Chains A and B, each alone.
Chain A
Amino acid sequence: MTDIFKLLKGNPEDSDYKKKGVIVQGITGAYGSLHAKNMISYGTNIVAGVTPGKGGQKFEGKVPIYNTVKEAVDVTGAKISIVFVPAKFFLDAAKDALEAGIKLLVAIPEHVPVRDTMEALELATQKGAVIIGPNTPGIMIPELIKIGIMPPTPFKAGRIVVLSKSGTLLYEICDALTNAGFGQSITIGVGGDPINGTRMIDAFEMVKDIPDLEGLVIIGEIGGDSEEVLAQRIIDIGFKKPTVAYIAGRAAPKEKRMGHAGAIVMGTYGSAESKVSMFNRANIPVAKRPSQVPVLLAGKMQKSD
């Protein structure tokens, strides 16, 4: 099992404990440079950028840029990379990173062809690496490290884990949680694509044994069956931490793609009813609207006291 905290923070004896280096692929693009700056100001240790053909330059006068991830890794030893390249170049960027020894690849681009994601995943499995995304807002330990595009204001350090298919709903619900006094220990955006590098269930396996975990929030949406699979797993292992879910897309018509490539109901497969009924079976309340999530979570916590 991937120890996601170890990947993100390192070991206490490391000289760079809690300051692990992160490489930004596509750092010179408009989107990549904006978010590289935002991540740096959040405190993420951005050690290198990669843009083919721009090796030797410096980003913001400080961060060295390399032509390939291999060069960046050789110099910095970084094991984490975040990718901002256009969707059609994602597979090449992912291969470059995984071949160079990157162990955590955060894939931001939307509209990556499913086939390319599957190929990248096959390579990641061979190399023992984890891909988060594509089409993800990223991953963060609030007030410590942000590898993604999320605005900082909704998040606060704490002991709730939040897993989400959607970006804006992650912000919206974390905002509500933070205002209600529920900080977050980690938030993982699994992404809105049909094929996820890290599925809901994989993300759950990464976080379920956190010693001081106080609660879990699952933000799902129509399409696929990753919420159902996760609910079944929660039943199977008898996971007892207070858990609340939210599912977007109850009012969406069938067989229409609702913005995300993965948000589509085919027949009964992927329907909100199917997800809600599985969560009910797992004794997990499902919020009707984002603002209800902290209320239900507080209710669950009282019951478990």
Chain B
Amino acid sequence: MRLLEFQAKELFREYGINLLPSRASKTIEEAKTYAKELGYPFVIKIQVPVGGRGKAGGIQKCQNDDELELKYPQILGLTIKGEKARAILLEKMADIKKELYLSMFLNRSKRCYTIIASPEGGVEIESVKNQIIKEVGLGNVSDEIAREVAKEMKLEGKLADDFADILKKLAKLTVEKEAELAEINPLAIMQDGSLMALDGKFVTDDNSNFRHDELQKYQEKTEIEERAEKSGFSLVELDGDIAVVGNGAGLVMSTLDMLSDNGGKPACFLDVGGGATTESVYEALTLISKMSRVKGILVNLYGGIVKTTVVAEAFLKAYEDNLINLPVFSRLKGTESEKAKEMLKNSRTKIYDSIEDAINAAVLGIKK
């Protein structure tokens, strides 16, 4: 799960990492109350779980009530990379001397936690040449390591002490919450010489959710996503019109790619997992029936031992129950496929021998 900036900052605050005064709001009325509390000037920042907010105009300065009333609704109405505003953060303006970068992340190829620090902050770290990289095993950062990084950052005196302190706190937070990434960018040196986290990015390992009840308040799920999770499905909603269903993440991704190559637009990625049964396919169709943009369904099931007749039953039942009235284009690898084809002969579900054929038919069928 990727936390929003203000949620990441809640965790930073809890772990004693210095922050500017800020308040998260959902309405202009709330914002006006907080404005009195904070005092002008401050910045308002859109809260979305994606990067590139500044470029998209999602971060603005406010000097007075008039500016707030003008800019707040503008930002609240923005959609950035398909993501709508979850909240607007009001944050006190700051006098910055210099911006640094600091993060700790799960290094997949080295299979350990890794610190990245840089004296150049405030920009995307990929574009920064001057990076200090330190592998730290399971994530325990000793005083010695923290000081070493501060030294390599060429920080001295109190600034070096403060930096080492923040690094240790960030490491503790990363390990205790089982994060894949904890990033402070920028970590600012203020005019008064203090260090402050001006932005925060925090991504946790969903598979460790069962150990972190305290993080569940940050979980946001639509009804469809919740139902998918309950059934053990993986679902990613997309903005096209052909729903893509299959078993196995790799196979569904592959189907999405082939559909896109042929000019089709996927409406969702839906992996029903493991084997396919009448019940699981029926539930998948139920979820798809709730997505209004869908005009057709593409099904790609590879079951070495799955009986395709079992899957055909789910389609028939879905039509019978008036659950769906959409065309289904399917490729079902498994036993009894001739019988399944016979069963579906007069329905709106067609079975094709190859996924390529099913995709061609789907793209043509939807255009009509």
Contacts and interface: CB of A to CB of B under 8 A. Distances in A.
A153 B109 contact: no
Contacts of A223: 108
A112 B207 contact: yes
Contact of A267 (B126, B257, B333): B126
A253 B356 CA distance: 22
B138 A166 contact: no
B208 A113 contact: yes
A109 B343 CA distance: 36
B354 interface: yes
Contact of A259 (B180, B211, B271, B304): B271
Interface string A258-286: 11111100111100000000000000000
A250 B260 contact: yes
A151 B81 CA distance: 40
B178 A113 contact: yes
B249 A114 contact: no
A260 B250 contact: yes
Interface residues of B, number: 53
Interface in A110-151: 111-115, 118-119, 121-122, 150-151
A226 interface: yes
Contacts of A171: 302, 304
Contact of A88 (B180, B210, B304): B210
B185 interface: no
A247 to B, nearest CB: 9
Nearest to A250: B257
A77 interface: no
A226 B81 CA distance: 27
A213 interface: no
Contact of B249 (A111, A166, A226, A290): A166
Contact of B111 (A166, A195, A221, A257): A195
Interface residues of A, number: 64
B322 to A, nearest CB: 30
B109 A226 contact: yes
B256 A166 contact: no
Contacts of B124: 267
B178 A192 contact: no
A288 interface: yes
B119 interface: no
Contacts of B205: 113-115, 261
B183 to A, nearest CB: 11
Contact of A248 (B109, B208, B250, B355): B250
Nearest to B301: A168
Given A113-B205, A115-B138, A199-B109, A168 B253 contact: no
Contacts of A290: 254
A172 to B, nearest CB: 5
B58 interface: no
A103 interface: no
Nearest to B212: A113
Nearest to A119: B138
A132 B362 CA distance: 38
Contacts of A71: none
A263 B249 contact: yes
Contacts of A63: none
A167 B356 contact: no
Nearest to B335: A153
A79 interface: no
Nearest to B82: A253
Contacts of A249: 253, 256-257
Interface string B261-279: 1000010010100000000
Given A113-B208, A258-B269, A252 B253 contact: yes
A303 interface: no
B269 to A, nearest CB: 6
Contacts of A291: 354-356
A153 B106 contact: no
A252 B302 contact: no
In the complex, the 10 A-B pairs of residues with the closest C-beta atoms, listed nearest first = A151-B304, A166-B250, A259-B249, A168-B248, A169-B250, A113-B208, A251-B260, A259-B234, A168-B251, A248-B253
13 contacts: A88-B210, A113-B211, A114-B106, A115-B138, A115-B208, A118-B111, A151-B305, A221-B250, A225-B108, A251-B256, A261-B207, A262-B108, A263-B249
Given A114-B106, A192-B250, 20 more contacts: A113-B205, A115-B178, A165-B250, A166-B253, A169-B250, A169-B251, A172-B254, A172-B333, A195-B106, A225-B108, A226-B109, A249-B256, A251-B253, A251-B259, A255-B2, A257-B206, A258-B253, A258-B269, A267-B126, A289-B356
